[in-house]
Chains A and B, each alone.
Chain A
Amino acid sequence: MTLAIETQSLGYAPGRGFQISNLNMKVPVGSLYGFLGPNGAGKTTTMRLLLGLLPAARGSITVLGEAMPAAHVQVMSRTGYVPERPHIYPTLTVDEALRFHSAFHPRWDQPWAEELRTQFNLVPDRRVGALSKGETGKLMMLLALAQKPDLLMLDEPTDGLDPVVRRDVLEALLSYVSVHQATVVISSHLVHELERICDWIAVMDRGSLVAELPMRQFKDGIKRLSVADAPATLAATPFTILARRPDNGSGEQWLVRGWSSDMQSYFGAPGATLRKIGDLDLEDGFVELLRSFREAK
C-alpha cells in the first residue's frame, strides 16, 4: 500500500493540558480518508502538523513522499488546503483572490477555476469579506481544487453550510477526485457525510488515534449482538466488546468491534446463545468506540 501521508510517533504539546502523543497515521494514496473526532480531539492540530504549519515536538511526518516540514514548499505546491476558518484576505474581491492564489500554484487551471466560479455562483467583483459563510466555503474549495492538487486537506469544509451548498461543494470535490485520483483527508462532525463519501476512516480523541481502517471494515466489523445466558465474566473473545447492556429483561445487548460471521461459534463455549446480529451505522459505531476508548483510558 503506497502512502500519501505517514506519521511515526508524532508528538506535539502546546501546553494547556492538550497534547498529541505517539500518533501513527497512514493515509493510502488515492483514498478518501475521513477524520472523525469530537471537538478538541486534535484533528485541526494534526492537519496543521502534517502541513508544517505547526512544529512537531517529536516523531516524523512524510507527506507525498517528502519529509515535512523540510519539504514544505514542494508539498504545499501539490496540496490544496481548506482550513476550518476562512483564511483568504477579506479585502480582495473574488477575482483578485483567484488571481492572488493562482500566482503561487504552477498547476493552476484557470478555465476550470472560471467554470467552478460560475457553477458556485460567486460574483467576481464581490469582496471576500462580504461573502456569506456558504460562499466563503465554496471559494475556499474552489481555490483548493483549481490548483489541481495531489492531496486535499479539508478541515470541516462543509461545517455550517446549508444542504444545497454542501452538496455543491462535495460534488465538485468528488468529481475532481474521480478524475485525478487525488488523496483527500477530510475532517467533519457530520458523520453521515463521511460515511457516504469516505473509503477510509480514522477516529481521534484527546490527541490519540483510536482507530484507523477501511470504512467497509469499520462498518462491517461493528455489530450489535443480542445475547442470552451470557456469564458475568468472559474469557478472551475473538472480537472487542465495546459495551454490554441489559436487553429489555432477558439477555444482553453487546456492542462489538472486529466482528466476522465465523465468530458465531464462540458463543457455545461460555454457554451463551447468540440471538440476533444487528448492524450499527457509522455514528453509533463512532460514539461507542469513543465511549469504550475513554473508559479504557
Chain B
Amino acid sequence: MSERPTVWRAILESQWKWTRGLALLGALVGFALPLLSLRTALATQSTASFIATMQAWGVGYAIAAAALGLMTAIAAWGYDHRLRHVYALSLPLARWRYVLLRFCAGLVMLALPVVAVFIASEIVAHSSMVPKVLQAYPVALTLRFGFATLVAYSLFFAISSATGRTAGYILGGIALIIVAQVVISSANLQVDLVSRSIDLVFAAPGLLAVFGGRWTLIDV
C-alpha cells in the first residue's frame, strides 16, 4: 500500500470506485448526443427542419442531466445507507465535512459527462456540415447541461442524505397534489393543480426551471 492519502483523496477514490461506471456511461451519452443530433438533422431537407430536429434532441440533454444527477446522488450515499452510516459516523470527521466531501466527490464524477458534452459540441460547432446561416452554441449548451446536472444532483443528494421520513414527506406531498387533483376533477371544478405545480417548479424562477425551455446546440 502506498502512503497515507489525504481525507479528500480517500473520499474521491471511494467515490470513483462506486460511480466510475456511471460517470463513463454519462460521458459516452454526453459525447454521443451532439453527434447524433447533427447526424439526424443533416438528413432533413430544410434549415427550419434542421433546427427543429436539433431542438427535438434537446430533451435528451435534459433527461441525461436529470438521470445522471439522480444516479450519482444515489450512488454517493448508497453504501453509507446500506451500512446505516455507522462507518461514516465513527470517522473522526465532522458530519458536515463528510457530507461536503461526498458532495464534492460526486461533482467531480459529473464533470466527465459535462466535458464530454463540451468536446462533442465543439466538434459539431466546427463541422462544415452545419448550414452557414446557423449559429452553434457549444459553450451555452455545455453550461446549461452542467448547471442542470448540478441542480439535479444537489436536489437528489439532499433528499438522499435526509432520513427516510423526509423522503416520505416529499413523496407524500407529490401524492397529495395528485389526490387533490383527482378530487377536484371529480367535482367538475376547472382547476389544474398538477399543471400549476409543474409550472411552479419547472417555469422560471422555479427550482427546476433549467430543465424547461429550449435546449439547442444549433440555432439561428
Contact = CB atoms under 8 A, between A and B. Distances in A.
Given A73-B93, A91-B17, A103 B5 contact: yes
B18 interface: yes
Contacts of A53: 86, 89-90
Contact of A103 (B10, B79, B83): B10
Contact of B1 (A51, A85, A114): A114
B219 to A, nearest CB: 44
A87 B86 contact: yes
B4 interface: yes
Interface residues of B, number: 23
Nearest to B94: A73
Contact of B14 (A52, A83, A85, A100): A100
Interface in A91-105: 91-92, 95-96, 98-100, 102-105
Nearest to B3: A110
Contact of B91 (A91, A104, A110, A114): A104
B175 to A, nearest CB: 26
Interface in A69-107: 72-77, 81, 83, 85-92, 95-96, 98-100, 102-105
B169 interface: no
Indicate the size class of the contact surface on chain A: 20 to 34
Interface string B77-107: 0010011001101111110000000000000
B167 interface: no
A99 B92 contact: no
Contacts of A52: 89
B13 interface: yes
B79 A87 contact: no
B163 interface: no
A35 interface: no
A108 interface: yes
B126 interface: no
Given A53-B90, A104-B10, A91 B79 contact: yes
B6 to A, nearest CB: 6
A113 B1 CA distance: 10
A83 B5 CA distance: 24
Contacts of A73: 92-94
Contacts of A104: 7, 10, 91-93
A99 B1 contact: yes
Contacts of B18: 91
B9 interface: yes
A100 B79 CA distance: 14
A78 to B, nearest CB: 8
Interface in B1-47: 1-2, 4-7, 9-10, 13-14, 17-18
B16 to A, nearest CB: 11
A99 B4 CA distance: 6
B17 A96 contact: yes
A114 B3 CA distance: 12
B13 A100 contact: yes
Contacts of A83: 86, 90
A81 B79 contact: no
A220 B86 CA distance: 39
Which has the most chain B C-beta neighbours within 10 Å: A74, A92, A100, A105?
A100
B7 A103 contact: yes
Contact of A76 (B10, B17, B82, B92): B92
Contacts of B17: 91-92, 96
Interface of B: 1-2, 4-7, 9-10, 13-14, 17-18, 79, 82-83, 86-87, 89-94
Interface of A: 51-53, 72-77, 81, 83, 85-92, 95-96, 98-100, 102-105, 108, 110, 113-114, 124
Given A87-B83, A91-B79, A102-B4, 11 more contacts: A75-B92, A77-B92, A83-B86, A86-B83, A87-B87, A89-B87, A92-B14, A95-B1, A99-B1, A99-B10, A104-B91
5 interchain residue pairs of minimum CB distance: A103-B10, A77-B92, A76-B92, A87-B87, A87-B86
11 contacts: A76-B90, A87-B86, A89-B79, A91-B17, A91-B79, A96-B13, A96-B17, A98-B1, A103-B7, A104-B93, A108-B4
